[in-house]
Structures are given as structure tokens and as C-alpha cells.
Chains A and B, each alone.
Chain A
Amino acid sequence: MTADTFFQHLANALSLGSLYALLAIGYTMVYGVLRLINFAHGDIFMLATYFAFYIATTAIMPWWAVFILAIVLTGIFGVVVERVAYKPLRDYPRMSIMISAIGVSFLIENLATVVFGGRPKAFSVPELFSGLVMFGNVRIITVNLFIPVVTFVMLIILLFVVNKTKTGMAMRAVSTDFDAARLMAIDVNRIISFTFLLGSLLAGVGGVMWSLKYQQLQPLMGIMPGLKCFIAAVIGGIGSIGGAVLGGFILGMIEIMAVAFFPGATGYRDVFAFVLLIIILLVKPSGLLGKSSADKV
């Protein structure tokens, strides 16, 4: 492998890792406040791509307005899912909410297949993102440059919200101790909705950029990235935003590089994430940046 192709793979891995990171943050934040694997997160990500597709084909708007509208719609949808499917079950055992999450994901997938059609759709990409940039002999598609930059900006905004604002402080409080936060007069329902909003907005950003990168939409496209990004969150240490980002990048890097260096492993590409997950769970179950917690009796 020449250095040029290596750098091309590196750019690809960085942009894939960024997308994984954006999605993984949603998982990690929801898990932080509710201790719930939001199985529907991958499907919310899928909806973002279809929102963008349909707004772009029906309304006359500049592309950035289309994307922003799609992302906002996705955020609202995430909040609605929480209100309808998770909130009524909050006092039930955790298994019930998880089953509800599986049910929602099942429903969204089936509904999307009926409404959007099962056949893949082609996403038309604005020229800005499909250009090629040359760095010496290394050719990089512009979208692969945009994705890490946008992700970085999103991350800065998110960290600001979580660490510097009052709502962010309440979020951290809820994730540290749900009941104590409620006793401290924090409006837990509002904070949970806000968490879902943030997570789904980021999933929306990720979804739109995903369709810019891969240009193909399918109703079931959210399942695999969804699972992998939950795994990325676990690898990084669930509940930690930095960990989710780290996990996302590690996963993106491994997937692209393993296939680049060992072309024979192409068929096994979707397995790397799961193997990595099982290794991490056995060696360091709290994840790379997570805090381990002992069992309280």
C-alpha cells in the first residue's frame, strides 16, 4: 500500500468515525439519564435522511435550509418517541422500556417500508460536497473533509451546552442520580426530553451527512449503524460523551483499515464491531473512559 492510498483510507476512516461518533453520543446521553439502550436511535437516524430527501424533492429551498429543517424535524421526532413510548413506562422494570424501544424500532422500520417504499432511493448531493480536492497525489472527496469539521463544531457546541449551561448541569445531575436530582427540584421530564432532543438532533446531523457520503437511502439502513454506534458508546465508556467520540473513531478506523489492509476480510466487515465489543466487555466492562461502578446491595 502506498502512502497516497493510505491517506485516502485515513480520510475515509475519519469521516466514517465522525458519523459513528455523532450517533454514539445520542446513545450515550440517553443511557446516561435513563439507563436505556434506545434501540430506535438508528431508525431516527434513518428518518433524518428521508426527511432531507423528501423536503429537497418537494420544496424549493437552498440545500442548507433543507438540511436544517430535516435535522430539526428529526430532533422533534426523537422527543415524540420518548414521550409516547418511554415516558409511560418509566416506573416499570428496565426490561419493559427496552422492549418498548425494540417495539418502536420495529414500528418505525415497518412504517418506513410502507411509506417510503422498500426500494433504495438515490440522494442528490449538492455540488459543494461532491467535488474532489487534491493534496499532492491524494484525492479526497470534499464531503470527507466536511464531515469531521462539522462533527468537531457540533461537539464543541454540545460540550458547551452540557458543561456550561444550567440545563446541562441538570442533565449531568440526572445522569449521576435520578432520584436525588428529582428531590433537588430538577424537572426530570423536561431534562429527559431535552436529552432526547440533543441526541436526535445529532442523529439528524449524522443522517444528513451519511446520505451525502453514501447517497443511498433505505428504510432499514439505520439498523446496522445504530447497533455499531451503541457498541462504540460502550467501547468508549457508556455515559461519557468523550468516550462515545473516542469509540466512534476507533470503530471507524478499524472498519476501514482492516478491510484496506486485509481485503480478504471484506465479508466480515460488520463483525469487527461485535468482536471488539465482546473483547471490551470482558476486559474492561466500564469502557475505555467510563467509571466502573460496584454492585450495591
Chain B
Amino acid sequence: MADTKKRNMILTIAALVAWIILLFVFDKVFDPFTMRIFNLCGIYVTLALSLNLINGFTGMFSLGHAGFMAVGAYVSALLTLSPATKAMNFYLAPITPLLANVQMPFLPALLIGGLVAAFVGFLIGWPVLRLRDDYLAIATLGFSEIIRVVITNLQTITNGSLGLKGIPRYTNVWWSWGIAIVAILFMVFLMRGSYGKAFKAIREDDTAAEAMGVGVFRHKVLSFVIASFMAGVGGGLLGHLLGTIDPLMFRFTLTYNILLIVVLGGIGSITGTVIAAIVITVATEALRFLDGDIDLGLFVIPGIPGMRMVVFSILLMCVILFWQRGLMGNRELSWEMLLPARRSAARKPDPSATGQSEGKRD
């Protein structure tokens, strides 16, 4: 057993190193447009993991992610914008003197963005997390909408509906994937520890968890705050990738997109989320050809703008209806699964192995 553990560790580190080398190669080979998609993949990995922490691992149903992303994106953007660019942005009403001359490097700005988002998450979570299921969903949705409307109306701080332009494009593949990898490792260790076990206990049955001495409310708030932090950092990365943000970006369709990644990957699976984040981000870009004209040689199908999203949502409905458990269900992709020959050889006499393969079939 210890042997396989060691082997898995080595394989994981090897895969990580391989991925980093691959990113390095991609960075050199691909054009900026393709790299932008790679960056988006990394950012969506972080965001989807954070939503999965709430919805998949702790069993709450939050639809408030767009709001936390907005907080993170705005805070970090306001901290990295140079005073001159700020003055150009705020032509309707001048920016408050408090923020006018602040400028700092990317990393502290991102972290402060995440911390402010976490603080907002705490303020919201404290009252709202007493609610259950669909009430929680609608209340978090409500709060994210409130955040958006407040941002739209705070002209002197956020520039209102005009949004912020000229945000320095610091996000490159190292930032987006570096933070994604940190997020993945953090989630893996969190879920292995006592906190992760408590989260899962709450997901399975919170009354029973309470009876077993798990501080249900405390853990719910903790999970919510951690996820808000990650969402805030993800929002900051997104803002510094796109270079411009405005309140309309953070409508609840954004939350839906992330939720759909979580659903496709499997609610409660880290590896599933990572795979789904990459698949969906690449697929939405790949389906872009549907919006333009399609040349079939003999005749041309005229493109209909928006067709891409229709096809995308039909595919999604198919997943929801016919492929309930998503890619991974709540299981994880492990080295044992990838190396089936060795597993069956090693585990043949073990009765739990048959149970596992039966579980896999459904």
C-alpha cells in the first residue's frame, strides 16, 4: 500500500512538472488569442472549484458567485490602475481622493481583492446561511444582484455603469494557472483534512452532523468565506485578463456558467471540475464558428449570431437530463483508475474492488 502511495505521489509531481513545461511551450508557440483561452481555462478552474466547495462539498446551494467575483475584480482593478488612467476613467464624476493615488503590484492587489470578497462573503453568509436549499439559492442570488446594483450606483468609487477601462493586463498563463494549481492543491488538502470531512458530513445530512458534534453553522460559514475568497481572486484575474470590467459582466448568467461547469464535472469532484472547466471553456470558443457563415463548398449557411449559445445550452440540457452525474459524479480521477492493469493485478483478492467497479458502472 505504501508503495502505491509513493508511486502516486511521484506520478502527481511528474504530471505537475509536465503541465508546467507544457504551459511554457504553449506560451512560446501559440498566438495571444489562443493563450487567452488557456488563461480563461485556468481562471475558470479556480472559480468552478470555489463554487464546488459550496455546492458540491458542503451541500449548500449558492448562486451568488458573480457578486463575489465583481467585488474581487473591482477592488483589485482599483488597486492596480495607475492614477493617470483612473483620472481618464472617471470623467463623469471624479474618483474619491481616498483611492485616487493608490497603486500597488498585482499580487497584493489580487489578495486584497480576495480578502474583501471574503469579508463580503462573511457579512452575507452570517445571516443567509441559516436558510436551506432553494431559499439559500434565491437569497444568495439576491445578494449578488444587490452587490451589482450597488456597484452600478457608486459612481465615485466604481465609475458606475461606465465600468473601468485600461486595467493593466497582468494576467498571463503563469498567473492564471499558477493560482489554479494552488487552488487545486489547496482543495485536495482541505478535503483530506478534518475540515473537509466536516463539510462532507454536512452535505450528507446536516442534522446528523450536528448530532455528531460538527459545528454545522461555523463550517458552513467557513466554507462560504473560503469560496468567496477564491471567487474574488478569480474575479481579479479575469479583470486583469480582459482589461476592462463593467457591472453588466457580473450578471447571474456568469454564475450560471460556472454552475454548469460544476454540474458537468460532477458535483463534489475536484478532478471533474478541472476537466469540465477546460472542456467548457474550450468548447464555448470552439463553437464560435456557429456564429459566422459556414461554407459547405456548394452553398453557404449564413451565420446567425447567438447560435453558439443555443447549441451550448442544448448540449448542457442533454448533460443535465441524460448524464445526471456529470463526468465524475462525486468521485475523483485517481492514478489507480488511469492504470487499470496494475490495479486489477494488485487488488484482485480484495472484495471492495468489485464494489468499486460496480459503483463505476452507474
Q: Which A positions have Cβ atoms within 8 angstroms of B?
A: 35-37, 85, 88-89, 92, 94-96, 98-100, 102-104, 106-107, 110-111, 113-114, 118, 227, 230-231, 234, 267-268, 270-271, 273-275, 277-278, 281-282, 285, 295, 297
Tell me whether B139 is interfacial, beta carbon within 8 Å.
yes
Within the complex, the shortest CB–CB distance from B123 to chain A, in Å, comes to 12
CB–CB A103/B320 < 8 A: yes
Given contacts A85-B321, A94-B134, A100-B321, contact A114 B259 (CB under 8 A): no
Given contacts A106-B316, A110-B309, A114-B306, contact A278 B145 (CB under 8 A): no
Chain B neighbourhood of A273, CB < 8 A: 142
Contact of A282 among B127, B141, B142, B320 (CB under 8 A): B127
Total contacts A-B at CB 8 Å? 108
Q: Which B positions have Cβ atoms within 8 angstroms of A?
A: 55, 61, 127-128, 130-131, 133-135, 137-139, 141-143, 145-146, 149-150, 152-153, 207, 253, 256, 259-260, 263, 267, 304-307, 309-310, 312-314, 316-317, 320-321, 324
Chain A neighbourhood of B263, CB < 8 A: 99
Contact of A277 among B138, B309, B316 (CB under 8 A): B138
A282 closest partner in B (C-beta): B127
Contact of B153 among A102, A106, A267 (CB under 8 A): A267
12 contacts between A and B (CB under 8 A): A37-B134, A95-B55, A96-B324, A99-B259, A99-B320, A118-B306, A274-B146, A277-B139, A278-B139, A281-B135, A285-B135, A297-B207
CB–CB B61/A98 < 8 A: yes
Q: Give Cα A267–Cα B160 distance, bound, in whole angstroms.
A: 11
Within the complex, the shortest CB–CB distance from A28 to chain B, in Å, comes to 13
CB–CB B259/A102 < 8 A: yes
CB–CB A110/B310 < 8 A: yes
Chain A neighbourhood of B141, CB < 8 A: 227
Within the complex, the shortest CB–CB distance from A98 to chain B, in Å, comes to 6
The 4 closest A-B pairs by CB, nearest first: A274-B142, A107-B313, A110-B309, A114-B306
Contact of B145 among A99, A267, A270, A282 (CB under 8 A): A270
Given contacts A37-B134, A114-B304, A271-B146, contact A106 B207 (CB under 8 A): no
CB–CB A278/B142 < 8 A: yes
Q: Give Cα A251–Cα B166 distance, bound, in whole angstroms.
A: 40
Q: Give Cα A197–Cα B152 distance, bound, in whole angstroms.
A: 38
Chain B neighbourhood of A104, CB < 8 A: 317
Query: Besides A106-B256, A114-B304, A278-B143, 18 other CB < 8 A contacts?
Result: A94-B133, A94-B134, A102-B259, A103-B260, A106-B253, A107-B310, A107-B314, A107-B316, A110-B306, A110-B312, A114-B305, A267-B153, A270-B145, A271-B146, A274-B142, A281-B128, A281-B135, A281-B139
